[in-house]
């Protein structure tokens, strides 16, 4: 949906291929149920509300996701269980009557 406030006109059509000011992507059910304010003209796209064509950004994002999934997981060393886990704590609980 796009609109021109100065002309009191709203246009409801398919999804935009790129971002524009005063432009909002609506799902098909909201696009079909949209009404304009009193005194405004509403122009509706008659036909299918298909997805916008893919852009280079979509292809780059897909390629990066595939590369990330193909990377091996970092090797983690198992902790050595032969050594003591730590020193005795230096804090103690003091009874309330002390």
Tokens of residue 97, six digits = 């009557």
The alpha-helical segments, DSSP class H, found in the chain are 28-33, 56-70
Q: Express each pLDDT in 25-54 by its tens digit.
A: 888 888 888 898 999 999 988 776 666 666
Query: What residue has token string 């064509």?
Result: 53
What's the rounded Cα separation, in Å, for the pair 39 and 8? 7
- The Cα 24–Cα 28 span in angstroms is 12
Q: What's the pTM?
A: 0.45
Tokens of 62: 């897909």
At residue 38, the pLDDT reads: 93
Q: Tell me the per-residue pLDDT of 70-95, one tens digit each, with 9 for 90 and over.
A: 888 777 777 666 655 666 677 777 88
What ranges do the domains of the chain cover? 1-70
Q: What is the pLDDT of residue 7?
A: 92
């Amino acid at each position: 949906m796009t609109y021109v406030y100065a002309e009191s006109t709203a246009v409801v059509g398919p999804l935009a291929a790129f971002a524009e000011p005063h432009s909002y992507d609506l799902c098909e059910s909201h696009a079909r149920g949209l009404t304009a304010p009193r005194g405004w003209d509403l122009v509706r796209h008659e036909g299918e509300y298909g997805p916008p064509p893919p852009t280079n950004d979509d292809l780059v994002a897909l390629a990066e996701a595939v590369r990330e999934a193909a990377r091996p997981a970092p090797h983690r060393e198992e902790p050595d269980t032969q050594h003591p886990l730590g020193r005795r704590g230096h804090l103690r609980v003091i009874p309330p009557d002390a």
